[in-house]
Amino acid sequence: MKTIKRILTNKCPNCHEGHIYTDKNIYFNFFRNKMHKTCNKCGYKFEKEPGFFFGAMYISYTIGVAQALFTAGIGSYFYDTPLNLKVFLWIMLVLALMSSFNMRISRIIWIYLFKNNQ
């Protein structure tokens, strides 16, 4: 449970004090995706090698599919047919609004998955 809280609060996986992204608020920043190269408290290196974050795309995809299914489930409750075009538009809107958050949170999860003990 503490790990989930640390992921959602943008904390370093090593010292749990520094921040991964330069902005502490990772939820509603649409244009600033600036990450620290290392933790400003303990010096933990976030990007292990070039292309390290390609794997985070799979996590982002999984989160996006979950959001789309959740939105489709909620939307089908309000419309008569389950595959209504309006539900599809709601899914697109949700995915567009959540894309920046998905990218950030998937990178943080990826860093936590590959955290090695130093």
Q: Which residue has the tokens 């959001």?
A: 67
pLDDT digits (tens, 9 = 90+) for 9-60: 888 898 888 888 887 666 666 666 788 888 888 888 888 888 888 989 999 9
Q: pLDDT averaged over the chain?
A: 85
CA distance 65 to 57: 12
- Token pair recorded at residue 114: 């590959």
Q: What span, in angstroms and rounded, lies between the C-alpha atoms of 12 and 106?
A: 14
Distance of alpha carbon 25 from its chain centroid, rounded? Answer: 12
Whether the pLDDT of residue 114 is over 50: the answer is yes
Q: What is the pLDDT of residue 82?
A: 64
Mapping DSSP onto H, E and C, the string for 47-108 reads CCCCCHHHHHHHHHHHHHHHHHHHHHHHHHHHCCCCCCHHHHHHHHHHHHHHHHHHHHHHHH
Q: Is the pTM of this model over 0.75?
A: yes
Phi, psi of 90, deg, nearest 5: -65, -40
